[in-house]
Structure 1
Amino acid sequence: MEKVNQTPPERFILLGFGSNVPNLQVFYFLVFLVMYIITLSGNLLLIIVVRINPKLHTPMYFFLSNLSVIDIFFSSTIVPNILLNTLAMDKSISLLGCALQMYFSLALGSTECFILAVMAYDRFSAICRPLHYSTIMNKMLCMSLAVGSWSMCFLNSALQVILTFQLPYCKSHHVNHFFCEMPPFFRLSCKDTFLNEIVMYIGAGIIAMCSFCLTLTSYIHIISTILKIRSSHGRHKAFSTCASHLTVVSLYYGTIMFVYLKPSSIYSAETDKTVSILYTAVTPMLNPIIYSMRNKEVKSTINRKQTKKEDL
């Protein structure tokens, strides 16, 4: 019986869009480039505005700044490589580069789940427990929640990536995906990946499902409180804000859970590639717009700085 070559590959080939039509490749490149520029500028602007306006030194904007940092690095871990591979002839990535990309994208994506949940809890405390808000969301708790979210997710990512790259990849070194992500890699291994899938399901279940449940529970209480507001204008404004937040949260959690919690028997490379665009490129672009750019305090800070520049 012929032995299967289990030598670890030095490089993987990311197939990406799989299109050889030059005009289509240029179109993909421009779309991702525009989304990346909007992501960087929107999130950087939010961080700067929070930094320079003392009125925004609150728990809500502390977590929003965390979210912006995550989105900048999360998008930067993946999108530049997509841009390069879209036009380049050589679509390969080194084993180390692939492992690092998988590690940071998984860690940052998981951290975003927790931060979104913490933000929902912060809004619950502000709206449903306004008299006790400053006591509940004190500086120590905010720092603990942020540090705990980052630490837990980076540790989980390390475990997942180590287990993934211990697999022998002997079927193919061509990855039918935009970037290095666990599910497509399981399809390349000639070894049973049952243990890896169980560990992935447990990690994703704890992080995504628990975060989503906490977020959903918080918003149920928030909406219940909003319904008690007598002013129809106040209710409409609060519902509008909650609806936009829940839309982005549902989009992010839904796509993450679809990729990492669905059975391997219904795996589809093309579907996964499409879904992954939503949480790697679209959501980081929308977050600063949905969560803060509609805020009057943020807009007034930007306008004041713009006016000062024009006066000079």
Structure 2
Amino acid sequence: MAALEKVRDEAPPKAPARGRRPSRPRGSVPAPGTTPGEKRLAASPSAWFVWSGMAAFLVLLLGIIVAVVVDSFGRSWFDTWLPAEWTAQWYAESWDRFDLTHVIGVTVGVALAVVVLSVLIGVPAAYLLARRSFPGKRLVNVLFLLPILMPPITYGIPLATVMYAFGLGRSVVAVILVNLVPSVPFVILTMTPFIEQINPAIESAARMCGAGMRQVFTRILAPLLVPGILAASILVLVRTVGMFELTFLVSGPQSDTLVVAIYRAMTSAGGGEARQLISAMAVMYTTTMLAMLVVALRFVNPTQLVAQVKEARDD
């Protein structure tokens, strides 16, 4: 027995089978002479091209933001990279001259109203499209796509004509109504896949236990749809705050949102306003948008959103 163990220990290691390469631990550095097909993706020309494009885009975006911020804090200058004097008076002056307290209040109020109404109308409509089959269902889906795919100005002018005909022009109500036209279809198209991924057997079991349609919707479907509702609400919120065409056509001095107020300031008196005032308003607009996104993302985690949708689909 001792002789056999000695022979086994002294035997040379087995050579790998012909045609099969020895396995290399994952994450190890490839040996010299590696074939091009085994090179890492980061070393390929296409990867360098993608990274270069992303870097150029980020540099351009950062440059624009920095230029606007610097302009909003500086006095007039021409032959230097940075202004010789810095001041914050442009913010105070633009706030008072354009009544931004009222403008931001209208912007936030319109956005929240559009979000709430879009969810209240869009979620039940999405449930019907996800759970019911009826003649012309595909045509209805196509009609919901039109306000999202078409430029807002194409249907904004007829909408504005209707609003002015009913005496709603230049009012906050008109601004809310015209923004509902693209927002409700957006919620419907966003929520329909969420509802389709929920197993209908859950609703059937609840009905067998005596639950009515309202109880099924509020106690069973609503908790499962919360991630989708929050995601749709965030997108509608950002879309409404940034919507210019529809809001501009029906708004007035007392119903302008911030993006429309910036445009009116740029074009007032033939563009006679100081450039720094417009830059200050642009910085405040961007800050408002970022604040809304931060608050919204505080309650919605994209990773948890995907996980909860997967769990609802598996159930």
TM-score (norm 2): 0.30
Q: Which has the larger radius of gyration?
A: 2
TM-score (norm 1): 0.30
